[in-house]
Amino acid sequence: MVTINDGAGGLEMGALIDKMRRKLKVKGGFSGVLDDGAYVKMGDKFVVFTTDSFTVEPVFFRGGDIGKLAVCGTINDLCVMGAKPIGISLALVIEEGFSDDDLWKILESVNRVCEKVNVPVVTGDTKVLSRGEVKGIVVNVSGVGVCDKVIPNHGLEAGDKIVVSGSIGDHGAAILSSRFGYESSLVSDCAPVYEAVDACRGYIKACKDPTRGGLSACLNDMALKSKVGIVVDDDKVPVKKEVSAICDILGIDVFEIACEGRIVFGVRGCDADDVVGILRKLDCDACVIGEVVRGEKVVLRTAVGEKFMSMPSGENVVRIC
């Protein structure tokens, strides 16, 4: 029986995806199948291809809505592969009776992000289901991007530093505060990251965006694929006070909730300060949060000692993205 945990971005989803991949026997053509996007050489460029379905609840939240989220989510998966997005698809599954006004607000959000990054919607699909068959709206955005060189999510080596491009957990906390009606000034970090990746391109050894499963899932994935350990300094990770407070109230680990406009970079130790400098010029609240070490665990160094920062298991927050 499929459980909520199977879609949560943690251990159980990893196991399900492994099992699915064993069922699907046709391989070849594309590389990077377990990265944020798959890529294939075409002429003198790499073409990168990725997909994501979005089911966020509420559909409108502080700092965005499902339209903005869907476009940012998918183009960011292209961006962290080093690709410039050149076209996206937009496939809507809508509940009968969904408000016209809300639909057009969502489309306006899609358009705003597309204008910001100059990426057209080039193909689409629209299905309408009866009440009870889908709640609200589900949005799939797939995307195609191009680059001269792909940036992987692995290849970290001992001595490298880990840089985050801004504060952690804002998206998850904003969704939760919208969902539960908390009074809060918190907004989602949902935003395109192309500019930041592009500006640091020459320095990046590996990068990934910490979405479902948050910083913990992201770092564990990068460490596992790179066959290294990572030590994170708890006090260096930028976390907004309100985000901490919401996570404390709900008993959620702030390192396990989604960001939708942040990047985790792995860079050479000697380049870390330069990368932080470049990102800060772009108004990113970037920080060096840790370093890559020999080993295979992600460890959080806190004021009272060290603990493992494990791959999340189970679902802490549903319909977050």
Residue numbers 78-137 binding a copy of itself by CB under 8 A: 86-87, 89-100, 103-104, 107-108, 110-111, 114-115, 118-130, 132-135
Among 20, 202, 241, 305, binds a copy of itself (CB under 8 A): 20
Would you state the structure tokens that stand for residue 40, as one six-digit string?
């294939």
Closest separation in Å from C-beta 109 to a copy of itself? 10
Count of residues that bind a copy of itself according to CB under 8 A: 82
Is there binding between residue 11 and a copy of itself (CB under 8 A)? no
Give whichever of 44 and 183 is closer to a copy of itself, judged by the CB atom: 44
CB atoms within 10 A of CB 285: 15
Would you state the structure tokens that stand for residue 249, as one six-digit string?
């109230």
Q: Which amino acid is at 304?
A: V
The Cα-based distances of 236 to 155, 163, 231, 243 in angstroms read 23, 10, 11, 15
Would you state the structure tokens that stand for residue 148, as one six-digit string?
């001269």
What's 285's DSSP letter?
Answer: -
Is there binding between residue 313 and a copy of itself (CB under 8 A)? no
- The residue range among 53-61, 189-197, 198-206, 291-299 that interacts with a copy of itself, by the rule CB under 8 A, is 53-61
* Rounded Cα–Cα distance for residues 37 and 150 (Å): 10
Is there binding between residue 60 and a copy of itself (CB under 8 A)? no
The answer to whether the CB of 258 falls within 8 A of the CB of 218 is no
Write out the DSSP string of 184-209: ----------HHHHHHHGGGEEEEE-
Question: Of 136-175, which residues contact a copy of itself (CB under 8 A)?
Answer: 138, 140, 142, 144, 146
Is there binding between residue 7 and a copy of itself (CB under 8 A)? yes
- The residue range among 47-55, 202-210, 215-223, 230-238 that interacts with a copy of itself, by the rule CB under 8 A, is 47-55
Among 11, 16, 224, 245, binds a copy of itself (CB under 8 A): 16
